[in-house]
Amino acid sequence: MNEFEIKARKLVGKMTLAEKCAQLKYDAPAIERLGVPAYNWWCEALHGVARSGVATVFPQAIAMAASFDDDLLYRVADAISDEARAKYNEYKTFGSTQIYQGLTFWSPNINIFRDPRWGRGHETYGEDPYLTGRMGAAFVRGMQGEGKYHKVDATLKHYAVHSGPEAERHGFDARVSARDLHETYLEAFRYCIEKSHPAAVMGAYNRTNGEPCCASETLIGLLYGELGFDGYYLSDCGAINDINAHHHVTETPAESAALALRAGCVLNCGGAYAHLLAAHGMGLVDEETVTEAAVKLFTARFRLGMFADDCEYDKIGYDVVCCEAHRELNLKMARESVVLLKNDGILPLENSAEGKLAVIGPAADDVDTLLGNYNGTPDSKTTVYEGIRRAYRGRVYYARGCRGYYGVERESTDEDCGERYLRDAMLAADRADVVIMCMGLSPAYEGEEGGFGHGGDKPDISLPEAQRRLFEAVASRGKPIIYINVSGSAIDLREQDEKCPAVLQFFYGGSRGGEAMADIIFGRVSPSGRLPVTFYRSNGDLPPFEDYSMEGRTYRYFRGEPLYAFGHGLSYTSFEYSDLTPVQKPGGADFTVKVKNTGKVCGEDAVLLYIMGRDGVPGEPVKTLAAFRRAALAPGEEAEVYLKTEPGAFMRAGEDGKKRLDPGEYTVSCGALSARVTVSE
């Protein structure tokens, strides 16, 4: 028992049953007689302190995943938590804090982006469990700090097997095999818990194999048992009421509250735990269970230094919010998140005073596509159009091109309006040497339940119809097009890949995203991002959305030919790999590889190592990411990169979900290289 738990038990021991029950609600009331202030547990910080005034808005989670740079993400999270502490330190001078003003943050989202139609996928780190685990663990470490106290608490969400459909999430039952559960859906949770010791885990809205996730003895038992979690478990907002209202597992809110608390869900976002005292009176839950839940929560509050006068983080001042160091960090992450998908040599563009560019598209000058969701309010922001206009020495023409953004197009009932926007776009294109088209989606279109048009999810991976018409109209003018796709998910870009000499993916890039894109376009920085998701060719490549089997999904189990593969990303320089060499260790191997910059400009390369699937082995993925590391190299420079694999990287889950090592020969690949390695126990 640590010192924080000892203090928590002493304090909770002085509380009445009613007081303890009330402390298990997210909006916990004050207990004045014990000197306990009111505390609201709900805070957000997915890619910056959110819903709490001005803060540095970093690129969306999926964009940061494209960097394949967990060291940089650690620094980003450290900056976010500095701003969070600074705000808390000031808020508490008012005598109390309110919602979104505390130290318990419900981030990161480490669900697996299994299907590009899921609206909330851009909140995640992509489709791969290992990448998600690496990035999630770095985020947690940066948020929580390394001192005696936690700087803030980080929360892994949404546990578990959660990725749509959004419109059905309150009553949906995600049916999943034991193999997929352990090989895919739980793996990032396991990794983050082992590597970063997060303070909290949030349960999902849905059921998994029949059990509500916020009251699942199976899942919560795995969490505290096999996965080794030792923090506090909380519900998503309203999820415990769903147990009776939508899942129909119980009949009343009191029964739902008792079921969830007995299973191990100690904190409720929502109103269900207002019924705990009644549930105790009905014999549905005992006082000891309530007491232990309260002890967990007060242990967390003591570990955050809320009742201490020696917490090192109390000294963080408000000037850190949106400071210059955080602005530069934001720009660096935004640059690393841009993915160059195709380049026939048109990029980087010459920045000529005599040149003429047209910037066309509804995403070009749209602030929402910078900020994503679960975002803060930036102190300044630069759209793609603004970034290009400020950076370019020549003439820049601009046209929105269409009103249509979200799939339900006003132009369909107002042809004059639609034609007016198209004419502006064609006039701009006619006057330009090169056209930069900036189109795609918006976080208002792909997002959480209640989002525009489709309950948060998108119906398919097609561009909205108005944007398809816009692209055809501009392409007909015969000018070379640099196409920037703005989205948090995969889009069908076959036509753009065929007709445009350059295609870039711009995930929601944060408040400095437009500057970063201009740096890439004009060659001040060589692109280095890689796709954290597969870009499929068509809607026909996608299995049924409601099916949670991994077969046919993501690069690990998709048997077809993608348009742009997971891990794809081009550069303005070239890298040569050589001497891929195994370094044997029990149960597997690490690897070294030499990487040389054979081009003419400085560049960074994300070096990815895959374990290839073995023919004839049931359930074997096509390949699996096993290690990655970035290398920054000057022209002509060569470096040896050490690729460390995790213990168990060569293990696979059987039909029973148990992971086992199958000794023998395996093939690994790194770039165009491959090597054979013998793995023994």
Query: DSSP string spanning 285-330?
Result: S-HHHHHHHHHHHHHHHHHTTTT-S--GGGG--GGGTT-HHHHHHH
Shortest CA distance to 312 belongs to which of 10, 89, 538? 89
Active site residues: 236, 446
* Structure token digits, residue 399: 């046209």
pLDDT at 420 over 60: yes
Q: What gap in Å lies between CA 581 and CA 674, rounded to an integer?
A: 9
The pLDDT of residue 411: 41
**Which secondary-structure segment (H or E) carries 606?**
strand 603-612
The pLDDT of residue 617: 87
Q: What gap in Å lies between CA 171 and CA 488, rounded to an integer?
A: 26
- pTM (two decimals): 0.97
Q: What gap in Å lies between CA 396 and CA 88, rounded to an integer?
A: 44
The pLDDT of residue 453: 56
Q: What gap in Å lies between CA 320 and CA 398, rounded to an integer?
A: 36
The pLDDT of residue 618: 85
Domains located in the chain, CATH noted: 3-320 (3.20.20.300), 324-533 (3.40.50.1700), 575-679 (2.60.40.10)
Q: Are 134 and 84 in contact (CB under 8 A)?
A: no
Mean pLDDT confidence for 64-72: 98
Residues above pLDDT 70, as percent of the chain: 97
Going by pLDDT thresholds of 50, 70 and 90, the confidence category of residue 410 is very low
Tell me the per-residue pLDDT of 343-363, one tens digit each, with 9 for 90 and over. 999 999 999 999 999 999 999
One-letter identity of residue 250: T
Mean pLDDT confidence for 514-528: 98
The SS3 call for residue 484 is: strand
Mean pLDDT confidence for 53-59: 98
Beta strands across the sheet bearing 211-212: 173-174, 207-208, 211-212
The pLDDT of residue 455: 76
The pLDDT of residue 407: 43
The pLDDT of residue 140: 98
Tell me the per-residue pLDDT of 4-30, one tens digit each, with 9 for 90 and over. 999 999 999 999 999 999 999 999 999
The pLDDT of residue 509: 98
Q: Are 609 and 670 in contact (CB under 8 A)?
A: yes
The pLDDT of residue 450: 75
Q: What gap in Å lies between CA 240 and CA 211, rounded to an integer?
A: 12
Mean pLDDT confidence for 264-286: 98
Q: Are 641 and 607 in contact (CB under 8 A)?
A: yes
3-state secondary structure 321-333: CCCHHHHHHHHHH
101-122 b/e (C-beta count within 10 Å ≥ 16 → b)? bbbbbbbbbbbbbbbbbbbbbb
pLDDT at 92 over 80: yes
